């Protein structure tokens, strides 16, 4: 949606104030505002990908940090790499880079916090040079990323960098006008090295297992293809901390814009989120960093057990509910988890398919963690749409779910629910509709390829699995395939997803 259609959504509050520097001091005390001098902020952080999640998570932590310490060196300059980011640029620009965060509690209460730590926004397609300069600037100490699971450009079946991507070919041929993150980081780091400056830390905030290690490997591979000296310098001098990030952040709707106004803020793009938030960061920064631990982040030596737990329990359960719930005709996570059958399937998935393959997580009781997850999913005030959850499922399924399936196959563990989800995703990708025939909004860069592969299942039931970039080699596992074929035949025969779920649960009980 463009900012212009957003501005047409209005609430009913005559005393609501527009959001900009001049109104900041006039908000009522029910709305918290930055307590620091925004004009003196320096942008120590350049952040790529200013979506809702960045605004509810890293920017929220950073704003709290600045409020708490008065340290003004950690403003954030936002970067959008795609033309589609123009709308958020326009919205922020018109509001002096301020926005409101609406924290929605299960009891219906909403807290409003105006976040002030964004200082600027650059749209890369308008001026790639300005983006490279900004990253290369002395004051930039961290370049952080939320570029989504797909943005890391690796082939999940091999874990290797995908040089066949046409945008990568473009960027290698046009190093000063790149499209993707690798070209920007490479150009900026090259300038820093040549001018004798220290590099910045590259800090990933995506739901990718070992996100720091992955971005490091991809970037170094990319640069090695044309400049081995720079590649060595990056490998040795730049740090790439791994991190686990967590806060459920639904897509902003017109209702949220109206709600912000009712609460007193006229904001063309507020962000809504749940109260829960967690950030576990490895302390590997080649330059300074904000002491985010002062406002609740956990700094650890090894983030692996936390990120595995979070991705495989939270994100994967989201995918389970997203796909099964969509076929059933549900619209939101909360609606899906309120159906006892779906709640039971999700708990069984977590307990029987994921928990057995998780390592111990220091300081975390997994049963509590799972109970909290169910409560978070059920927050009636958070309307997290299944369309958001199912968007870019190709990269989500391969990141969140396939590793669990593969590990269970290795140890002979349970995998019936994950298997059913893959079969259900095939039907979903084929028909783009619920089982009752309501059309589903499918947002996936791979939608067409998925649809073709899914459609072929009508003749050759395993066709959908013949996509190694998503499923690796699970098609070679006979017992997986036999079970999968059964689900495919049921689904294509029109058997209701609830009935198949019931059957899976009773087979669990029988075991
Ligand atoms: C979701 C995540 O997009 C998804 O599939 O699972 O956006 C999830 O809400 C966040 O990772 C929560 O931290």
| Ligand 1 neighbourhood includes 312 CB (under 6 angstroms) | no
Q: Whose CA is nearest to atom 13 of ligand 1?
A: 246
> What six digits make up the tokens of 131?
């983006």
Taking CA atoms only, the protein residue closest to ligand 1 atom 7 is: 248
Phi, psi of 273 (to 5 degrees): -160, 170
3-state secondary structure string across 295-321: HCCEEECCCHHHHHHHHHHHHHHHHHH
Prediction pTM value:
0.95
The dihedrals phi and psi of 320, each to the nearest 5 degrees, come to: -55, -50
Nearest-CA residue for atom 3 of ligand 1: 389
| Rounded Cα distance, 116 and 63, in Å | 6
- What would the DSSP string read from start to end of 8-54? T---S-TT-EE-STTTGGGS-TTEE---S-GGG--B-EEEE--SHHH
Residue 357 C-alpha to ligand 1 middle, in angstroms? 21
CB of 47 within 6 A of ligand 1: the answer is no
Closest ligand 1 atom to the C-alpha of 319? 5
Helix (H, G, I), strand (E, B) or coil at 437: coil
Q: Is 315 in the pocket of ligand 1 (CB under 6 A)?
A: yes
Number of C-beta neighbours around residue 264 at 10 A: 19
Counting from 1 in the atom list of ligand 1, the atom nearest the Cα of 247 is 13
Query: If you take atom 10 of ligand 1, which residue's CA is the nearest one?
Result: 248
| Pocket flag, ligand 1, residue 247 (CB < 6 Å) | yes
Is the CB of 389 inside a 6 Å radius of any atom of ligand 1? yes
The CA angle 47-50-56, to the nearest 5 degrees, is: 105
Q: Are 350 and 214 in contact (CB under 8 A)?
A: no
Q: Are 205 and 236 in contact (CB under 8 A)?
A: no
pLDDT for 10: 58
SS3 content of the chain, % helix, strand, coil (to 5): 50, 15, 35
Q: Give the strand pairing for 17-18 and 265-266.
A: parallel
Q: What is the distance, to the nearest Å, from the Cα of residue 341 to the centroid of all Cα atoms in its chain?
A: 27
3 state SS of 477: coil
Q: How many CB atoms lie within 10 A of CB 496?
A: 14
In this structure, the residue with its CA closest to atom 6 of ligand 1 is 315
Ligand 1 pocket test: pick from 315, 397, 401 the residue with the most ligand atoms within 8 Å of its Cβ: 315
Atom of ligand 1 nearest to the CA of 249: 9
Q: Tell me how far the alpha carbon of residue 448 lies from the centroid of ligand 1, in angstroms.
A: 23
CB of 246 within 6 A of ligand 1: the answer is yes
* Residue nearest atom 8 of ligand 1, based on CA coordinates: 248
Mutate to test the pocket of ligand 1, among 54, 147, 151, 314 (most ligand atoms within 8 A of CB): 314
- Quote the tokens at residue 102: 């609406």
Render the burial of 219-253: b for 16+ CB within 10 Å, e for the rest. Answer: bbbbbeeeeeebbebbeeebbbbbbbbbbbbbbbe
Look at the alpha carbons of 219, 225, 230, 235 in this order and tell me if their dihedral is positive or negative: positive
**Which segments in the chain show pLDDT lower than 50?**
1-5, 7-8
Q: What per-residue confidence (pLDDT) applies to 11? A: 57
pLDDT at 13: 83
Are 30 and 112 a contacting pair, CB within 8 Å? yes
- pLDDT tens across 366-406, in order? 999 999 999 999 999 999 999 999 999 999 999 999 999 99
Q: Which residue has the tokens 């600037």?
A: 137
Cβ 107 vs Cβ 12: under 8 Å: no
pLDDT, residue 3, reads 46
pLDDT tens for each residue of 166-197: 999 999 999 999 999 999 999 999 999 999 99
Q: Cα separations (Å) of 308 from 87, 128, 207, 339, 352?
A: 34, 35, 10, 27, 16
CA of 390, closest atom in ligand 1: 5
How many CB atoms are closer than 10 A to CB 460? Answer: 9
The secondary structure of 120-187 as a DSSP string is EEEETTT-HHHHHHHHHSTT--EEEE---GGGG-EETTTTEE-TT-HHHHHHHH-TTS-SSHHHHHHH
pLDDT given at position 155: 85
User: 384 CA to middle of ligand 1, Å?
Assistant: 10
Per DSSP (E only), the strands in 427-502 are none
Q: How many Å lie between the centroid of ligand 1 and the Cα of residue 315? A: 5
Distances (CA, A) of 94 to 3, 7, 118, 169, 502: 10, 12, 13, 36, 52
Using CA atoms, how far residue 43 sits from 47, 74, 114, in Å, is 10, 6, 18
Q: How far is the CA of 72 from the centre of ligand 1 (A)?
A: 30
Phi, psi of 35 (to 5 degrees): -100, 15
User: How high is the pLDDT of residue 1?
Assistant: 39
Q: How many whole angstroms separate alpha carbon 354 and alpha carbon 298? A: 24
Q: Is 245 helix (H, G, I), strand (E, B) or coil?
A: strand
């Amino acid at each position: 949606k463009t900012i212009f259609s957003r501005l047409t959504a209005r609430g009913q509050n005559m005393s609501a104030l527009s959001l900009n520097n001049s109104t900041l001091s006039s908000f009522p005390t029910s709305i918290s505002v930055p307590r620091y001098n925004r004009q003196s902020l320096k942008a120590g952080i350049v952040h790529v990908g200013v979506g809702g999640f960045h605004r509810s998570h890293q920017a929220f932590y950073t704003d709290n940090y600045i409020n708490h310490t008065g340290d003004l060196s950690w403003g954030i300059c936002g970067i959008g790499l795609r033309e589609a980011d123009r709308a958020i640029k326009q919205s922020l620009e018109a509001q002096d880079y301020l926005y409101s965060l609406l924290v929605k509690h299960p009891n219906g209460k909403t807290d409003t916090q105006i976040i002030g730590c964004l200082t600027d926004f650059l749209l890369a397609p308008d001026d790639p040079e300005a983006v490279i300069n900004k990253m290369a600037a002395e004051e930039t100490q961290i370049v952080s990323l939320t570029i989504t699971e797909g943005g890391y450009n690796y082939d999940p079946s091999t874990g290797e960098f995908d040089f066949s991507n046409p945008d990568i070919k473009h960027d290698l041929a046009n190093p000063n006008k790149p499209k993707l993150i690798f070209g920007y980081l490479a150009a900026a780091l090259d300038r820093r090295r040549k001018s004798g400056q220290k590099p910045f830390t590259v800090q990933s905030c995506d739901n990718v297992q070992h996100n720091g290690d992955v971005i490091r490997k991809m970037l170094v591979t990319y640069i090695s293809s044309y400049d081995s000296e720079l590649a060595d310098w990056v490998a040795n001098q730049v740090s790439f901390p791994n991190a686990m990030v967590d806060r459920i952040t639904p897509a902003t709707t017109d209702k949220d814009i109206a709600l912000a106004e009712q609460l007193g803020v006229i904001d063309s793009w507020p962000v809504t989120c749940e109260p829960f938030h967690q950030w576990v960061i490895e302390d590997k920064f080649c330059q300074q960093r904000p002491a985010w631990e002062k406002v609740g982040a956990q700094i650890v030596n090894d983030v692996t057990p936390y990120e595995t737990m979070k991705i495989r329990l939270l994100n994967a359960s989201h995918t389970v509910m997203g796909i099964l719930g969509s076929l059933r005709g549900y619209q939101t996570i909360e609606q899906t988890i309120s159906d006892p059958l779906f709640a039971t399937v999700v708990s069984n998935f977590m307990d029987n398919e994921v928990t057995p393959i998780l390592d111990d997580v220091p300081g975390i009781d997994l049963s509590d963690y799972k109970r909290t997850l169910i409560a978070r999913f059920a927050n009636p005030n958070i309307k997290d749409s299944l369309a958001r959850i199912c968007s870019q499922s190709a990269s989500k399924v391969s990141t969140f779910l396939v590793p669990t399936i593969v590990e269970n196959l290795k140890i002979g563990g349970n995998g019936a629910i994950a298997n059913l989800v893959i079969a259900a995703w095939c039907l979903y990708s084929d028909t783009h509709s619920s089982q009752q025939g309501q059309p589903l909004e499918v947002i996936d860069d791979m939608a067409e390829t998925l649809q073709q592969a899914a459609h072929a299942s009508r003749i050759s039931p395993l066709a959908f699995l013949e996509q190694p970039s998503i499923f690796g080699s699970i098609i070679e596992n006979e017992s997986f395939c036999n079970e999968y074929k059964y689900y495919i035949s049921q689904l294509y025969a029109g058997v209701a997803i609830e009935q198949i779920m019931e059957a899976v649960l009773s087979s669990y009980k029988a075991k």
